[in-house]
Structure 1
Amino acid sequence: MAHGIDEVARAAGVSTATVSRALRGLPNVSAETRRRVADAAAQLGYVASPSAASLASGRTRTIGLLTPWINHWFFANVIEGAERALRTRGFDALLYTFEVPRRAPRRRLDPDVLRRRVDGVLVVGLPLEDGEVEALRDLGRPLVFIGTGVPGQVTVRLDDRTTGRRATEHLIDLGHRRIGHISGSPFDVAPASPPVERREGWLEAMRAAGLAVDPTMETHGHFDVEGGRESLATLLRQCPDLTAVFVASDEMAMGAILAARALGLAVPDDLSVIGVDGHDLGELVGLTTMAQPAVDEGSAAATLLLDMIAGAPAPAEVVYPTTFVERGSTAAPRPPAADPVHR
């Protein structure tokens, strides 16, 4: 015979509210009470109904997950890490994606689709306008941002500026002096966003080395392979004397390598290429990269959000470093051809 929560409460000598809190792992329940409730529930064969628990607590045990893409390496890995952490704690994810056009701003966020449907919100790599952030805050649910942060909101992010600087310094140390840069979307100009910060790192390294930078040395690749392919061709038309390029993502970097080969250039003899991410396919093309633990970032962000839902304090931000992975796409520049000797 099935037993209800009232019987578990009587057996454990506590209220039904305490039974609910204890079995859902919420705070303000002592270890002894939690053990007593668990023992009573096990003896009576009581299994809480998720729908009943949601109705009783006002909780949905669902997290809203906002992202512009799910088919790009970084976003897919962050989402995987977040979902793993959510499942471990008995939560589900409600995925809300956006179409991000290449040549126009994206449509505005409508948080009403999440109202009364989620207990918290994860925002993955999505730069938001002030009005959009306010609308999310108005949901009255905890927020955690991954990648692109918002002042005053908990953020899990990469040390993007250091990443861009170290990637560029690697090329400078090899002897390159004309180093281009491929960034993300031209519409992503939010302060502290990954493409902005990676570009700043590139600029810092170039200036520190006393190297010239001009607008012809950079372009936008929209964070995908095709964008990287198109951007590298554009970059070399604008600045044909480049010997190396720092690319703000591995997918764009792989596209750049394809474009270089199509133009008859050897990588790295004619052009060195370094990316950011640690993409699973990077090893196949010998891509030198600044690798990031995207799955761990997603897991950490989801865990922080669940802790916030349970009433625990959260740090303002969690910053991950990248790991330099050297492969075959970077090398010293080819020596200039010697002038012919005239007799």
Structure 2
Amino acid sequence: MSGPVNLADVARRAGVSQATASRALSGHPHVAGTTRERVWEAARALEYVVSPDASGLARGTTGRIAVVVPHLARWWFGAALEGLSEVLREAGRDLLLYRLGDAVSRQAFFDELPTRRRADAVVLLGFGVDERERERLDRIGVGIVAAGTRVGSHPSVSIDEYAAGRQAMDHLVHLGHRRIGMIVAADPEVDLAQPAGRSSAYRAALADAGITPDPALTVTVSWSAEDGARAMGELLGSPDPPTAVYAHSDEIALGAVRTLRRSGLRVPEDVSVIGIDDHPLAATTDLSTVAQPVGEQGDLAGRMVLAGLAGEPVDPVITVPTRLVIRGSSGRPPAPRPANRRP
């Protein structure tokens, strides 16, 4: 089809009037389910983008900001969402929350994105996108802001993942540890652009200290305390277990501590543990960590959105600082055992 697709094209393909097509796409309750689905199928097939003029949703006039998250139960997303929602509330903006869910739901969300222009801007919280998803985002013609990650050339606010990893690793190396394990956190189902900074920091810190990395001391698991506990078990099963463990998140670090204590090992006298994030439980459990200001990232993302809608200049990249928090889970390595001597 030549030329831009309009609502009449969608209505014609679906076999309904333009008024019915408009009501179906806007979620009007007085449209039969089968009719609504037929209109949506037509819109998806034609890659129809809702016209601001036709719908009355001129940019900056809906009063709504769409926020997309991969998870709701995890602490990081809740803390970032709280900071973001407070800024939007004070500005009189409504928040539309979308949870991606599994890989199938994620694909469906991005497939339908061009027809869902119901907001003035979109904020992506804590996940990256692939090239196809980025193209779908660009098609809706509104401002995009990312928090906790970077998405192409769109404005973003996040920590320096590498710098955070180096703070954790340099602390362990400074304490005198040479056998340092790493538990990598991965969420391949939804985090397509998992940042590599925390892993590269591990390798760089070892290289700077003249330590040859041992592949047996790196374990990759999903992002949960239970998997952290399992990973620690694998590390303890290696021929030469680590004297310290660097975990990609505090949840994973806390799982590792549980396994160590259940194995009769002392933390940090036998094995030191450090994480990243400064989860609310980190202080309670005396966990050493690298703190990141999660709520502040949500707050800044909200301010970036509002500035863009007001036509004000927006910093393309904001990097918030992290800081090392030393608590009771990290200490010097245990003294080497004396070699057995024959009488």
Tell me if both proteins adopt one fold, taking TM over 0.5 as the criterion. Answer: yes
Are residue 154 (structure 1) and residue 155 (structure 2) matched?
yes
1:196-242 CA-partner distances (Å, limit 9, x unpaired): 11111111111111111132221223222112112222233246421
Residue aligning to 1:110: 109
For 2:180, the equivalent position in structure 1 comes to: 179
Could you tell me which residue of structure 2 aligns to residue 50 of structure 1?
A: none
Closer, same or farther in 2 for the Cα pair 1:240/1:157, shift >3 Å? same
Go from structure 1 to structure 2 and tell me whether the alpha carbon gap of 1:311 and 1:286 turns closer, same or farther (over 3 Å shift): same
Q: Report the Cα distance in structure 1 between the residues aligned to 2:192 and 2:335, rounded to whole angstroms.
A: 37
Tell me how far apart the structure 2 counterparts of residues 198 and 92 of structure 1 sit (CA, whole Å). Answer: 35
Counterpart-to-counterpart distance in 1, 2:270 and 2:240: 11
Native 8 Å contact 1:185 1:221 kept in 2 = yes
Matched with 2:31 is none
Does the CA-based 8 Å contact 1:144-1:301 persist in structure 2?
A: yes
Report what 2:66 is aligned to. 64
Distance in 2 separating the partners of 1:210 and 1:172: 11
The match for 1:28 is none
Conserved 8 A contact 1:109-1:132 = no
SS of aligned partner of 2:183? strand
Matched, 1:90 2:106: no
Alpha-carbon distance in structure 2 between the residues aligned to 1:239 and 1:147: 37
CA, structure 1 residues 178+76, in 2 after alignment: closer, same or farther (shift >3 Å)?
same
SS in 2 for 1:110: helix
Partners of 1:289 and 1:239 lie apart in 2 by 27
Letter in 1 for 2:215: P
Give the CA deviation at 1:313.
2.1
Structure 1: which amino acid aligns with 2:91?
Answer: R
Could you tell me how far apart the structure 2 residues matched to 1:179 and 1:239 are? 14
Structure 2 stretches lacking a partner, 5+ long: 1-54
Change beyond 3 A, Cα 1:298–1:186: closer
Which position in structure 2 is the counterpart of 1:3?
none
Local SS of the residue matching 2:68: strand
C-alpha distance after superposition, 1:287-330 (max 9, x if no partner): 00000110011000111011112212211100011111100000
Within the alignment, does 1:289 sit opposite 2:289 as a pair?
yes
Partner of residue 13, structure 2: none
The 1:310/1:290 distance shift into structure 2, 3 A limit, reads: same
Classify 1:94/1:286 alpha carbon distance in 2 versus 1 (closer, same or farther; 3 Å).
same
- Root-mean-square deviation over aligned CA pairs: 2.1
Aligned residue type for 2:126: G
Distance 1:205 1:197 in 2: 12
Unaligned residue ranges in structure 1 (runs of 5+): 1-53
Distance 2:178 2:73 in 1: 35
* Structure 1 residues 56 and 63: alpha-carbon distance in aligned structure 2, compared to 1, 3 A threshold: closer
Q: Deviations over 1:233-280 (max 9, x none)?
A: 223324642111111111111111112112222111111111111111
Q: Distance in 1 between matches of 2:142 and 2:323?
A: 34
Q: 1-side partners of 2:143 and 2:106: how far apart?
A: 23
The equivalences for 1:258-277 within 5 A come to: 258-277=258-277
One-letter code of the match for 1:68?
A: P
CA distance in 2, matches of 1:325, 1:239: 31
CA distance in 2, matches of 1:128, 1:252: 24
Q: TM-score, normalised by structure 2?
A: 0.78
1:118, distance to aligned residue in structure 2 (A): 1.1
Which residue number in structure 2 is paired with residue 304 of structure 1? 304
Number of corresponding residues: 284
Taking structure 1 as reference, are residues 239 and 185 closer, same or farther at Cα in structure 2, changes over 3 Å only? Answer: farther
Deviation of 1:126 (Å): 1.2
Asked whether the equivalents of residues 270 and 334 of structure 2 are also in contact (C-alpha less than 8 Å), the reply is yes
SS at match of 1:203: helix
Residues 1-343 of structure 1 aligned to structure 2 (within 5 Å): 59-100=61-102, 107-108=106-107, 110-111=109-110, 112=112, 115-185=116-186, 187=188, 188=191, 190=193, 193-194=194-195, 196-238=196-238, 240-343=240-343
Q: What is the identity, as a one-letter code, of the residue corresponding to 1:70? A: L
Verify the 8 A CA contact 1:286 1:328 in the aligned structure 2: yes
Overall identity of the aligned pairs, in %: 35
Change in Cα spacing, 1:324 to 1:151, as seen in structure 2 (3 Å) is same
CA separation of 1:98 and 1:220: change in aligned 2, threshold 3 A: farther
- The residue type equivalent to 1:152 in the other structure is S
SS in 2 for 1:108: helix
Q: Secondary structure at the match of 1:311?
A: coil
Q: 8 Å contact 2:100–2:109 — kept in the other structure?
A: no
Query: Equivalents in 2 of 1:294, 1:249: separation in Å?
Result: 13
